[in-house]
């Protein structure tokens, strides 16, 4: 059962402070469960949509307590999306990031960050933005797991390729490895999608251990980037 909504006192880290290129427009995508923030460039009616899915953001404070605002403090993925010169590009934030949404509670960016509601909301946003056009998904950190769940559970979305950066691909083994509380309320990615995919991981990543990345991506392409941490820089 969903917790009562938490009153979010957002500081000025939302859409007003995001400096996007002139050809990207800000949209708030209404879904059955959440309002998702997105920045979209659309210049071709038929071209593939390249969609970037954000990570978990500022889910916890430096002391390990749940934050009051999960909006990312890093612009790693957003900069990659804005630098993409393809005809159709979208950056989609995760639930409760960049927007004030009365549906949100701390559970939505902590233990329930990969909930059925979050997965359905992301799938809905992708459908609204891309329509029936083919999609290439670029996903960062926890965005890898939620995008994998979208691909597996919404086969009607025509995803052509899946690319992850510092990707979390199984939260159960990750929380066990890191000795963290389990993400109760979250779905897990038991099997990677069956489609072309590439996974980038930095050998200095302290958040997603290289050992786990190798286990998760067996049978698929894993690119290990030397002297790169969790925040990149990553090659597109």
Instruction: Classify domain 37-225 by CATH number.
Output: 3.40.50.1820
Main-chain phi, psi angles of 81, to 5 degrees: -65, -45
Contact 149, 189 (CB under 8 A): yes
C-alpha distance across the termini of the chain, in Å: 39
Cα–Cα distance between 18 and 27 in angstroms, integer?
Answer: 13
Task: State the residue for tokens 């969903």.
Answer: 2
Q: Look at residue 4 in the predicted model and tell me its pLDDT.
A: 38
Render pLDDT for 195-215 as a digit per residue (tens, 0 to 9): 999 999 999 999 999 999 999
Query: Can you give the pLDDT at residue 14?
Result: 53
Q: Is 149 exposed, middle or buried (0-12, 13-18, 19+ CB in 10 A)?
A: buried
Which of 58, 74, 94, 87 shows the shortest CA–CA distance to 18? 74
- pLDDT at residue 2, rounded to an integer: 41
Q: How far is CA 58 from the centre of its chain?
A: 12
Which tens digit of pLDDT belongs to each residue from 94-136? Answer: 999 999 899 999 999 999 999 999 999 999 999 999 999 999 9
């Amino acid at each position: 059962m969903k917790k009562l909504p938490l009153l979010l006192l957002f500081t000025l880290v939302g859409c007003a402070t995001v400096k996007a290129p002139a050809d990207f427009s800000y949209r708030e995508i209404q879904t059955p469960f959440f309002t998702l923030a997105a920045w979209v460039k659309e210049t071709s009616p038929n071209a593939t949509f390249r969609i970037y899915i954000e990570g978990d953001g500022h889910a916890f404070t430096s002391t390990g307590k749940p934050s009051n605002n999960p909006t990312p403090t890093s612009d790693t993925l957003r900069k990659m999306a804005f630098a993409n010169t393809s005809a159709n590009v979208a950056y989609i934030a995760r639930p409760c990031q960049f927007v004030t949404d009365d549906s949100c509670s701390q559970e939505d960016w902590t233990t329930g960050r990969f909930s059925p509601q979050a997965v359905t909301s992301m799938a809905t946003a992708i459908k609204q933005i891309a329509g029936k056009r083919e999609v290439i998904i670029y996903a960062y950190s926890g965005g890898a797991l939620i995008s994998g769940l979208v691909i597996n559970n919404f086969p009607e979305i025509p995803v052509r390729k899946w690319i992850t950066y510092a990707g979390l691909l199984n939260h159960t083994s990750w929380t066990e490895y890191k000795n963290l509380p389990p993400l109760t309320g979250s779905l897990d990615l038991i099997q990677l999608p069956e489609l072309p995919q590439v996974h980038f991981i930095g050998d200095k990543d302290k958040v997603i251990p290289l050992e786990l990345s190798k286990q998760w991506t067996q049978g698929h392409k894993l690119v290990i980037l030397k002297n790169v941490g969790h925040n990149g820089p990553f090659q597109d």
